[in-house]
Amino acid sequence: QRGEGKDAKRSSLPKGWTAESIDHEKALALLALPRDVGKHPETGKMISAGLGRYGPFVLHDGTYANLESIE
């Protein structure tokens, strides 16, 4: 958790991760999601990465694609 009260930012752990395996760096990376990856080379629209209900994903122009691993 980052922050306090109703403005606090929280994140769930990806499948297969335990609380004991999370260090400060990994925790900050999870709290930074979703994040912009960069612009698509053909469309120029932003590509975002995040962690959703069904695992890690990338999003481009309204289309989601699941990723096998968050690593």
SS3 (DSSP) at 45: coil
Query: Per-residue pLDDT for 66 more than 80?
Result: yes
Query: Rounded mean pLDDT of 14-33?
Result: 92
The answer as to whether 71 is a domain residue is no
Q: What domain count does the chain have?
A: 1
Residue 68 gets which letter from DSSP? Answer: S
pLDDT at residue 16 greater than cutoff 90: no
pLDDT tens for residues 34-47?
999 999 999 999 99
Q: Which residue range(s) make up the domain with 52?
A: 5-66
At 13, is the pLDDT very low, low, confident or very high (cuts 50, 70, 90)? Answer: confident
Pairing of strands 55-60, 46-52: antiparallel
Question: Does 13 map to a domain?
Answer: yes
State yes or no: cis peptide before 34, omega within 30 of 0: yes
Provide the whole-model pTM: 0.78
Q: Which amino acid is at 36?
A: D
